[in-house]
C-alpha cells in the first residue's frame, strides 16, 4: 500500500514540475479538442459576409442536398429549442445564430451538421444569404457619436447592478460608462504649472490560443452535458441553464486541460450553439473552430485613450484626466466589465490628489472584444506610462525619478479611495531599475544603429465581487483529492493548488490529486480569469483543507490519540475504522469583501481584494534607415506576493511578456470596410522564437499578500502590463521619436523618424 507521506518540508516555494508534465510531453494530456462521442455530428458554421445588414433570406437548399449532410440549422430553427436565444455575461445581446440581422462580418448565420466535418465544411460554403446592408460604424471614437447603431436597444443581463441604468436605452452605442471623480480636477488644471495632453491608441488583437475553441454537447430533454474548452465551467452552466429554463443540476459542464485561454474562453462562446444543435439533431454535436474562426469569436479591445495631466514645477502630478474608449465590437461579452474594472486604475500607480476618469465600452460592427490577459489594463499602461515619459522628458526630469516622486506607495489610497495593502510598487520599480541597469553607461550605438532604454510600471485591481468554492476529500490512505472549478490552461493552477492543499494538510503535494473541472463534481467557481485562481481559489482550498484538518483532529481525538501526536493520516483512519476505510470531506469558500463604486463618483473604499504590480525595462536597437527595432533586453518584474511555485511564476511572467511583445511589435487585426483581412497566422504574426530578446527575464520581488494563501497573490496577467510602454520609451531614448499607436512596426518607427526630420513619408 502506498500511503500519503507526511510532508518533510514546506510545500510553499517548491518549484515542483507541473503535475501533468509527463502527460504533456508524451502527447497524452487530455484536451476537449480530442474528444469524440459515439454518434457524434460535426458542425460547421456559415458566417456573414457583410458587417451590418438585415437578413432578407437564407438559401440552404444546396447544402441540404449535398450527400452526407445531416441537416442545416439557421437562427429561426434555434427558437424551437431555446425561445429566447440571446446570451452574454453582461448583456443578453448575442443571438446563438443571427436572427434578422448581422452585426459584423464573420458572425455565425447558419450551421451544417454532418458526420464528416469536411462535408459539413463544403456544404456550409454553399449557403447563400440575401442581405440588405445597413450603415455601419467601426471606430470606437466614431461610435460615441455615430447615428449608425449596432443594437436597437440595450439589454443588460441583470447580473451586474451597475448596468441596470442602461436597460432599454436606445440610440446609443455606449454599452457602459464608468466615471470617477476625485478632488477638484478643474481647479487643479487651472492652477497647474504645466499641463500635458496626449492620445494613445491600440488596435484590435486576438488571443490565438493554439487549441481553438471547441464544445461538444450531448443534450436530451432530461440532461444536458457540455464538454468545453472553457475557462468558466460554472458560469457556463448557469447561463446554459438559464437559456434552457432548467435547474443548474440538469446541466453538466466539464472541461480538461486547455491549450491556452488568455481570456478567450471565458463565459459562453460555443456552448449554447452546441447545446441547441444537439437538442435539434438529438445526437451529440461537436463545434470545433479553426484558428481562422477564432478571430470572429472573441478578441482584445482596440482603444483610444486621451490622457491629460497637471504637473507642478517640482514634478509632482496634481491632477489627471483620463478618457478611455474601448472598441467592444458587435456584442458586449464581458467588455462592460473591462471598461469598468480597468477604469479603476486608468490613472496609473500614482499618488494624484485630483483625478477624473471617463471609461466607455462601445459597440461597433467588428468582431466582439472581451477579456484578454490584463482586462484592459495593458491598453491603459501603454498610455499612462508613455505619457509619464513624455512629461519627464519635457520637464527635464529623469523618467525613473519622476515616477519615484509620484509613485503610489503601500498604505496610500488609490484613485478609487481603496487603500493599497501589501502592494510592492516601490520594490518592483527599484528592481526594474536595477535589472536594466538604469543610469549606468551603455553602448548607445552610432551611425544608423542607435540604442536606448526605457522602463514602465503598471498596476491592476483583482476581481470582486466573486465566489470560489472548493472541496477536498481525504481517503483512508491519506491521499487527498481536490475538487475545484479552476481550469488549468497552462498557468499551472493544478500544481499550485495541489501545493496549497498539501501545505494545509501537512502532506507532500504529490499526494494531492486535482480533478479536472466538472460541474457534476466540482463546486462553483466564478471562473479562471483575472489572475484570480491562486488568491481566490487558493483561499477556498486552504479553508477546505483546514476543515479537513479539523475533522481529522476530531477523528483522532475520538480514537483516543493524544493531542499533538503527529500520526500519519492513514493511521488515524485505521484507528477510527479498524481498516483502510472511510472518507473525510472538507469544503471551503472564499468571497472577498467588496463595495460597489458609487455611481456618481466611481469611488469605493474596497474596489479589490489586492493589487497586482508589474514593471518592465527594455533596451532596444533601432535601425534609423529602416525603422527596424530589435528588443535586445526585456526584464520583467512583478509583485506576486509569495510565490507558491517560483518556477511556474517565473514562466508565467516571461510568457506574459512574450505575449505582450507580440501585441507591441506585430499583432494587429487589419480591417477594410469592416472585413478582417488577416485572420490567420500567415498574416497575423505572433512572436516566434527568433523574436526573443537576447535577454528575457521574469522575476518576482520579495513580498507577501497577508490576505492571500500563504502570502500569495495572482500573477497570470502581471507580466503583460508594462512591456509596451517600456519598449516605446526605449525607442524614444534611442532615436527621439514617440510612437503613440500599437503595434510598433518598423514602418511606424520609420515614418516617425521621417516626420521628425520634417520630411514625412507619403502615405502610399
Q: Which of residues 292-311 bind another protein (CB under 8 A)?
A: 292
> What is the C-alpha R_g of the chain?
27
Q: What span, in angstroms and rounded, lies between the C-alpha atoms of 507 and 176? A: 48
**Rounded to 5°, angle at Cα 68 from 62 and 69:** 50
Q: Yes or no: say if 647 and 483 are a contact pair by the CB < 8 Å rule.
A: no
Residues 230-289 that bind another protein (CB under 8 A): 257-262
DSSP string covering 252-275: EEE--B-S--TTTTSS-SSHHHHH
161: left (phi over 0), alpha (psi -120 to 50) or beta: alpha
User: What is the Cα–Cα distance from 203 to 748, expressed in whole angstroms?
Assistant: 14
Beta-sheet pairing, 302-311 with 194-202: antiparallel
d(Cα 354, Cα 321) in Å, to the nearest integer?
9
β strands within 302-409, DSSP E: 302-311, 317-327, 354-362
Nearest approach, Cβ of 243 to another protein (angstroms)? 29
Nearer to another protein, 418 or 654 (CB): 654
526 Cβ contact partners less than 8 Å away, ≥ 6 residues apart: 232, 234, 235, 463, 466, 467, 468, 532, 536
Q: Single out the residue of 270, 648, 722, 731 in contact with another protein (rule: CB under 8 A).
A: 648
Contact with another protein (CB under 8 A) among 171, 682, 706, 758: 682
Q: Could you give the CA distance from residue 419 to residue 44 in angstroms, rounded to a whole number?
A: 50
Minimal distance, residue 25 CB to another protein, in Å: 4
Q: How far apart are CA 383 and CA 342, in angstroms?
A: 13
Q: Is 215 helix (H, G, I), strand (E, B) or coil?
A: strand
Cβ 694 to another protein shortest distance, Å: 9
Comparing CB distances to another protein, the nearer of 291 and 591 is: 291
- Please identify, among the stretches 346-354, 563-571, 601-609, 672-680, the one whose residues bind another protein according to the rule CB under 8 A: 672-680
Residues 211 to 230 in contact with another protein, rule: CB under 8 A: 211-212
Q: Cβ of residue 113: shortest distance to another protein, in angstroms? A: 18
Give the total of residues touching another protein (CB under 8 A): 79
**Taking the complex as a whole, how short is the minimal distance between the CB of residue 8 and another protein, in angstroms?**
21
Phi/psi class of residue 665: alpha, beta or left (left: φ > 0; alpha: ψ in -120 to 50)?
alpha
| Residue window 581-620: x/- pattern of binding to another protein, with contact defined by CB under 8 A | ----------------------------------------
First-residue to last-residue Cα distance in the chain: 74
Q: Which is nearer to another protein, 118 or 409 (CB)?
A: 118
- Of the pair 547, 699, the CB lying nearest another protein is at 699
Give the shortest CB-719-to-another protein separation in angstroms.
9
How far is the C-alpha of 439 from the C-alpha of 330, rounded, in Å? 47
Q: Does 755 bind another protein (CB under 8 A)?
A: no
Smallest distance, another protein to C-beta of residue 266, A: 15
The reply to whether 18 sits near another protein by the rule CB under 8 A is yes
Q: From the CB of 665, what's the least distance to another protein, in Å?
A: 8
Nearest to another protein of 259, 597 (CB atom)? 259
Residues 334-363 that bind another protein (CB under 8 A): none
Question: Judged by CB under 8 A, which of 1, 25, 563, 600 binds another protein?
Answer: 25
Which CB, 15 or 481, lies closer to another protein?
Answer: 15
Q: Measured from the CB atom, is 437 or 687 closer to another protein?
A: 687
For the chain, the farthest-separated pair of C-alpha atoms sits apart, in whole angstroms, at 89
Candidates 312, 467, 678, 707: give the one binding another protein (CB under 8 A). 678
Indicate whether 154 belongs to the interface with another protein (CB under 8 A): no
Query: Nearer to another protein by C-beta: 26 or 440?
Result: 26
Find the binder of another protein among 199, 580, 606, 745 (CB under 8 A): 745
CB of 647 to another protein, least distance (A): 5
Check residue 20 for interaction with another protein (CB under 8 A).
yes
| Cβ nearer to another protein, comparing 164 with 755 | 755
**What HEC string does 338-353 produce?**
HHHHHHHCCCCCECCC
Which of 6, 31, 397, 442 touches another protein by CB under 8 A?
A: 31
Among positions 81-140, residues that touch another protein (CB under 8 A) are: 118, 122, 125
Residue in the block written with cell 461579452: 333
Beta-strand runs (E) in 439-516: 445-446, 449-461, 468-475, 480-484, 512-515
Binders of another protein among 621-640, rule CB under 8 A? Answer: 625-626
Distance between CA atoms of 336 and 90, rounded to whole angstroms? 7
692 binds another protein (CB under 8 A): yes
Based on the shown chain and the rule CB under 8 A, indicate whether residue 17 belongs to the binding site for another protein.
Answer: yes
Closest CA to 703 of 687, 715, 685, 695: 715
Peptide bond into 465 cis (omega under 30): yes
Nearer to another protein by Cβ, of 31 and 86: the residue is 31
Contact letters for another protein, residues 449-488 (x by CB under 8 A): ----------------------------------------
HSE-CB at 442 with a 13 A cutoff on CA atoms is 20
Long-range CB contacts (within 8 A, 24+) of 425-429: 425/349, 425/457, 425/459, 425/613, 425/639, 427/639, 427/701, 427/702, 427/703, 428/457, 428/613, 428/614, 428/615, 428/637, 428/638, 428/639, 428/701, 429/400, 429/403, 429/404, 429/455, 429/457, 429/615
- Please state, in angstroms and rounded to a whole number, the distance separating the CA atoms of residues 240 and 256: 19
Peptide bond preceding 743 in cis form (omega within 30 of 0): yes
Instruction: Choose the binding region for another protein from 26-34, 327-335, 457-465, 570-578 (rule: CB under 8 A).
Output: 26-34
Q: At what angle do helices 569-577 and 538-558 cross, to 10 degrees?
A: 40
Evaluated on CA atoms 48, 50, 52, 54, the torsion sign reads negative
- Tell me which stretch binds another protein (CB under 8 A): 207-215, 272-280, 507-515, 575-583: 207-215
Query: By the 8 A CB rule, do 606 and 418 touch?
Result: yes
Residue nearer to another protein on the CB measure, 115 or 571: 115
- Least distance CB 633 / another protein (angstroms): 12
- When the beta carbons of 44 and 103 are compared against another protein, the nearer one is 44
Strands 675-676 and 512-515: unpaired
Q: How far is the CB of 696 from another protein (least distance, A)?
A: 5
Q: Is 756 in the site for another protein (CB under 8 A)?
A: no
Provide, rounded to whole angstroms, the least separation between the CB of residue 654 and another protein.
5
- What ranges in 110-178 are assigned the alpha helix state H? 117-124, 140-145
666 contributes a contact to another protein by CB under 8 A: yes
Indicate whether 442 belongs to the interface with another protein (CB under 8 A): no
Least CB distance to another protein at residue 635 (A): 12
Q: Which is nearer to another protein, 72 or 243 (CB)?
A: 72
Question: Is residue 673 at the binding interface for another protein, with CB under 8 A as the rule?
Answer: no
The window from 38-46, 206-214, 415-423, 576-584 that contacts another protein (CB under 8 A) reads: 206-214
**Would you count residue 312 as binding another protein (CB under 8 A)?**
no
Segments in 447-537 forming alpha helices (H): 493-505
Among 80, 554, 670, 736, binds another protein (CB under 8 A): 670
Amino acid at each position: 500500500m502506498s500511503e500519503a507521506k507526511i510532508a518533510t518540508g514546506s510545500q510553499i516555494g517548491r518549484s515542483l514540475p507541473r503535475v501533468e508534465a509527463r502527460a504533456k510531453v508524451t502527447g497524452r494530456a487530455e484536451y476537449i479538442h480530442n474528444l469524440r462521442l459515439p454518434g457524434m455530428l460535426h458542425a460547421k458554421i456559415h458566417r456573414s459576409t457583410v458587417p451590418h445588414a438585415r437578413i432578407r433570406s437564407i438559401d440552404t437548399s444546396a447544402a441540404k442536398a449535398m450527400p452526407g449532410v445531416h441537416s442545416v440549422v439557421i437562427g429561426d430553427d434555434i427558437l424551437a429549442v431555446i425561445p429566447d436565444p440571446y446570451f452574454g455575461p453582461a448583456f443578453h445581446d448575442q443571438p446563438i445564430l443571427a436572427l434578422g440581422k448581422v452585426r459584423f462580418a464573420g458572425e455565425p448565420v447558419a450551421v451544417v451538421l454532418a458526420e464528416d466535418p469536411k462535408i459539413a465544411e463544403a456544404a456550409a460554403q454553399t449557403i447563400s444569404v440575401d442581405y440588405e446592408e445597413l450603415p455601419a460604424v467601426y471606430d470606437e471614437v466614431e461610435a460615441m457619436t455615430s447615428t449608425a447603431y449596432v443594437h436597437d436597444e440595450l439589454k443588460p443581463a441583470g447580473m451586474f447592478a451597475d448596468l441596470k441604468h442602461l436597460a432599454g436605452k436606445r440610440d446609443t452605442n455606449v454599452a457602459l460608462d464608468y466615471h470617477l471623480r476625485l478632488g477638484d480636477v478643474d481647479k487643479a488644471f487651472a492652477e497647474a504649472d504645466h499641463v500635458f495632453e496626449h492620445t494613445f491608441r491600440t488596435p484590435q488583437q486576438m488571443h490565438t490560443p493554439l487549441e481553438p475553441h471547441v464544445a461538444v454537447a450531448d443534450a436530451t430533454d432530461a440532461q444536458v452535458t457540455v464538454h468545453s474548452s472553457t475557462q468558466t465551467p460554472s458560469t457556463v452552466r448557469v447561463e446554459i441553464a438559464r437559456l434552457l429554463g432548467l435547474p443548474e443540476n440538469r446541466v453538466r459542464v466539464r472541461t480538461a486541460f486547455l491549450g491556452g485561454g488568455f481570456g478567450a474562453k471565458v463565459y459562453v462562446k460555443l456552448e449554447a450553439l452546441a447545446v441547441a444543435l444537439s437538442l435539434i439533431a438529438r445526437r451529440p454535436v461537436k463545434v470545433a473552430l479553426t484558428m481562422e474562426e477564432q478571430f470572429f469569436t472573441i478578441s482584445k479591445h482596440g482603444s483610444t485613450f486621451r490622457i491629460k495631466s497637471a504637473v507642478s514645477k517640482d514634478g509632482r502630478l496634481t491632477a489627471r484626466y483620463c478618457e478611455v474608449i474601448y472598441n467592444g465590437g458587435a456584442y458586449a461579452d464581458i467588455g462592460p466589465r473591462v471598461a469598468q474594472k480597468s477604469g479603476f486604475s486608468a490613472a496609473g500607480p500614482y499618488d494624484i490628489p485630483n483625478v477624473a476618469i471617463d471609461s466607455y465600452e462601445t459597440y461597433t460592427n467588428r468582431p466582439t472584444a472581451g477579456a484578454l490577459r490584463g482586462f484592459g489594463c495593458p491598453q491603459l499602461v501603454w498610455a499612462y506610462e508613455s505619457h509619464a515619459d513624455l512629461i519627464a522628458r519635457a520637464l527635464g526630469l529623469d523618467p525613473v525619478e519622476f515616477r519615484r516622486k509620484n509613485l503610489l506607495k503601500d498604505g496610500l489610497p488609490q484613485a478609487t479611495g481603496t487603500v493599497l495593502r501589501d502592494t510592492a510598487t516601490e520594490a518592483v520599480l527599484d528592481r526594474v531599475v536595477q535589472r536594466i541597469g538604469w543610469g549606468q553607461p551603455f553602448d548607445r550605438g552610432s551611425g544608423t544603429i542607435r540604442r536606448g532604454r526605457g522602463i514602465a510600471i503598471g498596476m491592476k485591481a483583482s476581481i470582486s465581487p466573486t465566489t470560489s468554492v472548493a472541496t477536498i476529500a481525504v481517503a483512508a490512505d491519506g491521499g487527498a483529492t481536490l475538487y475545484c472549478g479552476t481550469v488549468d490552461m497552462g498557468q499551472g493552477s493544478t500544481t499550485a493548488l495541489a501545493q496549497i492543499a498539501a501545505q494545509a494538510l501537512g502532506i507532500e503535494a504529490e499526494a494531492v490529486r486535482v480533478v479536472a473541472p466538472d460541474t457534476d463534481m466540482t463546486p462553483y467557481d466564478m471562473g479562471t480569469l483575472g489572475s484570480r485562481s491562486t488568491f481566490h481559489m487558493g483561499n477556498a482550498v486552504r479553508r477546505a483543507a483546514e476543515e479537513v484538518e479539523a475533522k481529522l483532529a476530531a477523528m483522532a481525538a475520538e480514537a483516543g490519540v493524544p493531542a499533538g501526536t503527529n500520526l500519519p493520516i492513514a493511521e488515524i483512519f485505521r484507528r477510527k475504522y479498524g481498516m483502510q476505510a472511510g472518507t473525510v470531506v472538507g469544503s471551503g469558500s472564499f468571497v472577498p469583501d467588496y463595495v460597489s463604486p458609487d455611481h456618481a463618483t466611481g469611488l469605493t473604499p474596497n474596489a479589490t481584494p489586492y493589487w497586482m504590480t508589474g514593471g518592465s525595462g527594455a533596451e532596444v536597437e533601432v535601425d534609423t534607415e529602416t525603422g527596424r527595432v530589435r528588443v535586445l533586453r526585456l526584464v520583467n518584474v512583478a509583485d506576486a506576493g509569495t510565490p507558491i511555485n517560483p518556477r511556474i511564476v517565473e514562466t508565467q511572467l516571461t510568457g506574459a511578456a512574450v505575449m505582450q511583445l507580440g501585441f507591441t511589435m506585430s499583432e494587429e487585426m487589419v480591417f477594410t470596410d469592416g472585413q478582417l483581412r488577416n485572420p490567420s497566422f500567415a498574416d497575423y504574426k505572433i512572436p516566434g522564437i527568433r523574436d526573443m530578446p537576447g535577454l528575457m527575464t521574469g522575476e518576482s520581488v520579495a513580498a507577501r499578500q497577508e490576505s492571500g494563501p500563504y502570502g500569495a497573490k495572482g500573477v497570470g496577467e502581471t507580466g503583460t502590463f508594462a512591456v509596451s510602454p517600456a519598449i516605446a520609451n526605449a525607442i524614444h531614448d534611442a532615436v527621439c521619436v514617440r510612437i503613440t499607436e500599437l503595434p510598433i512596426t518598423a514602418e511606424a518607427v520609420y515614418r516617425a523618424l521621417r516626420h521628425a526630420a520634417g520630411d514625412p513619408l507619403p502615405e502610399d
